[in-house]
């Protein structure tokens, strides 16, 4: 470019400058316009992109315009009919969740209000359950209409179909039908907890400081729970049963109430109920427990189980007999009624002996006393196990009673082959059978024994007459008398034989006189007293009455032979007396008279037979011996010492046997008696 030619003069230069400024301004304006145009183009681009993204939606929205006119006219009605039920369901669903705060509160604060809200909840859920399917069906119908008439976009219809499919799956899936999100189950759980709380807080064991208080318990209270509590339990049950939770309610009820009964029984000390047959040798070792058993069983039935029976009826009466009877059966079983029955069975399984017969009668008497209570409380079908065990126990008891009773006579007769006691005392068998027979015919045992034998015969379709019972008992006493006759003859020492006979005839007389058995024996009782007197006289005559003869005064009168001769004669006679006395005393010091009256009378007769004679002899002739240096060899006993020794005779020794056992045969009785055995091992 050629450089501009400068024109001379100031005017021309000034013009050039103006042109340059003008060009600069023009350039700046062009730049501003270019910049504004760039901004406008940038903004238009983003809008075009947004429009591009909205075009499919706009196209779908405009598409129904291309549908048939009739379809477009009808679609509104279809939509309204479909959306109406769905909107109602949604409205109820919102109302359900509006109850959430109330249902998650503690029911104890306002149980009636809580139950009312829960009932509204159940009604709402029933509405939802009944109408959700209908609402889904309406929505499916409108989607099908839109699809058939090409009124909506396929993508939009696909989305609707997926949503409806999920709703339909939830409707048919049992694990996903909780339209309330689990709120109902949470409320029901709270009600169950309140049911348990009410029971637990008002279930208090009976206060008993000891087993002795059992007999002091007053009559049964009208109900072990307050009426207001029972009404609350019934109200809770109504809602829980409506929601298929009856079994859970029963489980809670049985758990709480059975624990309460067990706690009441624990105060009685019932550990003995767990005893097994192997833990005791015979019934006598647990005799005290059997007495407790009857008292404790009566208390449990009449006070505890009776109260539970009534309470089950009060709480569950609106549900039905089968329900509350089944509930009571579970409580009785879990609380320990079976343990009582099992203990009775254990007693029946122990080895047979006469004491066991009495204990079986005690058990039968207790069961018989409670028969009406058992039939009323445990007579339902739900108590079948208790009924079976009770029937089995009664059968075992009655069979055991009959078996032992009818074998008693055989056992007494078997004892006849055993030797008599070496101490001449009353054999344990004699003492036992006489006392035992009186017990069997006492007012306490005779009716229950008769009843047991009648039942046992009836099972065999036989009749039982009470005369059979009386005859069998009297036969026992007659068998004892025959045993005594045999044993009296068995002694080789006639003095011991007479002593034994005196001892036992007196025992029979004293323990039969004025008793039921004695009345049956009639004049035979009086005969025993006469026999006692006879044998006592013979015993005294053949033993102690011989001693005074050794203190004869013959040859001592006036000392005819001189003083020295008299002294020698006195020494000789005292020596003979002492030897005879010591021999007699030594032999009889081991003999026993158990009856104090007979012992004192016999000792006094011996004293009267010997002491006066000895006193007179020593007073008259003692001085002859006492002056001699060897006097102690002859005047060995003072009158007081002699009397004291005689009065010390025949005292019983400590018992050597703790129970009635068959004596082992020996000596002249070793004739095979020990070979007699019995399968049931009953001993006397």
* Structural domain includes residue 324: yes
* Angle subtended by helix axes 111-148 and 183-202, to nearest 10: 160
HSE-CB at 545 with a 13 A cutoff on CA atoms is 10
Question: What does the pLDDT read at residue 446?
Answer: 94
Q: What pLDDT digit, counting tens, does each position of 91-102 carry?
A: 544 455 555 565
Q: What are phi and psi of 111, to 5 degrees?
A: -60, -50
Residue ending a domain, among 11, 45, 65, is: 65
- Sequence-distant (6+) residues with CB within 8 A of 475 are 409
Q: Do 56 and 76 sit in the same domain of this protein? A: no
| CA–CA distances in Å: residue 587 to residues 51, 582, 583, 675 | 142, 8, 6, 33
First-to-last alpha carbon distance for the chain, in angstroms, is 160
- Sequence-distant (6+) residues with CB within 8 A of 348 are 360, 393, 396, 397, 400
Q: CA torsion 299→301→304→306, rounded to 10°?
A: -130
- Sequence-distant (6+) residues with CB within 8 A of 479 are 409, 412, 413, 416
* Structural domain includes residue 574: yes
Q: Do 597 and 518 sit in the same domain of this protein? A: no
* Structural domain includes residue 14: no
- Sequence-distant (6+) residues with CB within 8 A of 243 are 122, 184, 188
Q: What angle do CA 528, 530, 536 make, to 5 degrees?
A: 100
Q: Do 247 and 155 sit in the same domain of this protein? A: no
Residues 408, 433: Cα–Cα separation, whole Å: 9
Contact 416, 489 (CB under 8 A): no
Residues 432, 594: Cα–Cα separation, whole Å: 14
Residue ending a domain, among 544, 563, 580, is: 544
Q: Do 146 and 187 sit in the same domain of this protein? A: no
Q: What DSSP line would sit under 535-588, residue for residue?
A: HHHHHHHHTGGGGGGGG--TTTGGGTT-HHHHHHHHHHHHHHHHHHHHHHHHHH
Q: Do 450 and 381 sit in the same domain of this protein? A: no
* Structural domain includes residue 3: no
Number of other residues whose CB lies within 10 A of the CB of residue 570: 25
Which stretches of the chain score pLDDT less than 50?
1-8, 62, 65-66, 92-94, 138, 173-177, 179-180, 209-213, 215-222, 656-681, 683
Q: Do 61 and 81 sit in the same domain of this protein? A: no
Q: Do 74 and 61 sit in the same domain of this protein? A: no
CA-atom Rg of the chain in angstroms = 56
- Sequence-distant (6+) residues with CB within 8 A of 128 are 89, 92, 93, 96, 179
* Structural domain includes residue 658: no
Residues 627, 85: Cα–Cα separation, whole Å: 143
Residue ending a domain, among 65, 98, 119, is: 65
* Structural domain includes residue 676: no
Q: Do 166 and 296 sit in the same domain of this protein? A: no
Q: Do 190 and 321 sit in the same domain of this protein? A: yes
Q: What are 249's two structure tokens?
A: 């309610």
* Structural domain includes residue 669: no
Residue ranges in 370-383 assigned as alpha helix (H)? 371-378
Q: Do 241 and 367 sit in the same domain of this protein? A: yes
Question: What does the pLDDT read at residue 656?
Answer: 47
* Structural domain includes residue 325: yes
Question: What does the pLDDT read at residue 552?
Answer: 86
Residues 109, 100: Cα–Cα separation, whole Å: 16
Q: What are 629's two structure tokens?
A: 């240096």
Question: What does the pLDDT read at residue 407?
Answer: 95
The SS3 call for residue 502 is helix
The domain in which residue 493 lies consists of: 437-544
Question: What's the pTM value of the predicted model, to 2 decimals?
Answer: 0.72
Contact 551, 577 (CB under 8 A): yes
Residues 671, 83: Cα–Cα separation, whole Å: 112
Q: Do 256 and 165 sit in the same domain of this protein? A: no
Q: Do 51 and 77 sit in the same domain of this protein? A: no
Question: How many domains are there within the chain?
Answer: 5
């Amino acid at each position: 470019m050629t450089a501009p030619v400068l024109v001379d003069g100031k005017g021309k230069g000034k013009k050039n400058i103006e042109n340059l400024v003008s060009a600069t301004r023009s350039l700046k304006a062009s730049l501003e316009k270019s910049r504004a145009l760039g901004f406008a183009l940038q903004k238009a681009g983003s809008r075009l992109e947004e429009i591009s993204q909205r075009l499919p939606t706009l196209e779908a929205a405009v598409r129904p315009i291309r549908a048939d006119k009739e379809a477009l006219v009808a679609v509104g009605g279809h939509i309204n009919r479909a959306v109406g039920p769905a909107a109602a369901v949604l409205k109820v669903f919102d109302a359900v969740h509006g109850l959430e705060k109330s249902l998650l509160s503690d029911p104890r604060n306002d149980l009636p209000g809580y139950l009312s809200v829960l009932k509204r909840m159940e009604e709402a859920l029933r509405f939802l359950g009944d109408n959700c399917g209908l609402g889904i069906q309406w929505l499916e119908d409108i989607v099908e209409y839109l699809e058939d008439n090409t009124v909506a976009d396929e993508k939009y219809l696909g989305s609707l179909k997926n949503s409806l499919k999920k709703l339909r799956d939830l409707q048919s899936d049992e694990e996903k039908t909780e339209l309330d999100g689990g709120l109902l189950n949470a409320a029901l759980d709270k009600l169950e907890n309140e049911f348990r709380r009410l029971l637990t807080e008002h279930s208090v064991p009976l206060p008993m400081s000891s087993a002795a208080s059992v007999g002091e318990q007053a009559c049964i209270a009208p109900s072990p729970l307050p009426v207001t509590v029972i009404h609350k339990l019934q109200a809770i049950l109504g809602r829980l049963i409506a929601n298929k939770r009856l079994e859970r309610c029963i489980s809670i009820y049985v758990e709480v109430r059975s624990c309460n009964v067990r706690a009441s029984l624990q105060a009685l000390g019932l550990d003995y109920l767990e005893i097994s047959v192997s833990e005791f040798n015979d019934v006598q070792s647990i005799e005290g427990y059997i007495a407790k058993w009857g008292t404790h069983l009566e208390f449990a039935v009449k006070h505890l189980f009776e109260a539970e029976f009534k309470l089950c009826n009060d709480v569950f009466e609106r549900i039905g007999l089968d329900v509350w009877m089944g509930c009571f059966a579970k409580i009785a079983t879990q609380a320990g009624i079976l343990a009582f029955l099992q203990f009775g069975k254990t007693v029946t399984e122990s080895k047979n002996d006469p004491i066991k017969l009495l204990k079986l009668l005690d058990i039968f008497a207790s069961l018989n006393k409670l028969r009406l209570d058992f039939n009323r409380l445990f007579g339902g079908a739900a108590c079948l196990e208790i009924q079976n065990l009770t029937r089995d126990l009664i059968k075992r008891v009655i069979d055991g009673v009959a078996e032992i009773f009818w074998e008693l006579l055989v056992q007494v007769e078997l004892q006849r082959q055993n030797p008599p006691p070496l101490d001449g005392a009353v054999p344990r068998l004699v003492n036992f059978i006489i006392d035992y027979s009186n017990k069997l015919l006492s007012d306490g045992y005779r009716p229950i024994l008769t009843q047991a034998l009648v039942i046992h015969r009836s099972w065999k379709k036989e009749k039982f007459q009470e005369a059979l019972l009386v005859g069998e008992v009297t036969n026992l006493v007659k068998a004892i008398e025959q045993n005594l006759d045999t044993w009296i003859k068995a002694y080789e020492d006639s003095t011991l034989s007479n002593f034994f006979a005196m001892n036992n005839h007196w025992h029979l007389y004293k323990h039969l006189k004025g008793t039921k058995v004695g009345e049956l024996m009639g004049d035979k009782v009086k005969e025993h007293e006469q026999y006692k007197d006879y044998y006592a006289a013979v015993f005294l005559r053949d033993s102690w009455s011989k001693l005074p003869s050794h203190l004869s005064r013959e040859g001592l009168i006036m000392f005819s032979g001189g003083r020295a001769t008299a002294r020698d004669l006195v020494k000789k006679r005292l020596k003979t007396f002492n030897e005879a006395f010591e021999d007699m005393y030594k032999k009889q010091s081991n003999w026993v008279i158990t009856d104090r009256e007979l012992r004192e009378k016999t000792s006094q007769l011996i004293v009267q037979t010997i002491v006066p004679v000895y006193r007179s002899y020593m007073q008259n002739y003692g001085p002859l011996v006492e002056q001699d240096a060897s006097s102690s060899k002859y005047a060995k006993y003072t009158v007081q010492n002699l009397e004291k020794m005689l009065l010390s005779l025949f005292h019983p020794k400590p018992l050597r046997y703790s129970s009635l056992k068959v004596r082992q045969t020996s000596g002249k009785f070793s004739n095979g008696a020990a070979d007699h055995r019995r399968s049931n091992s009953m001993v006397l």
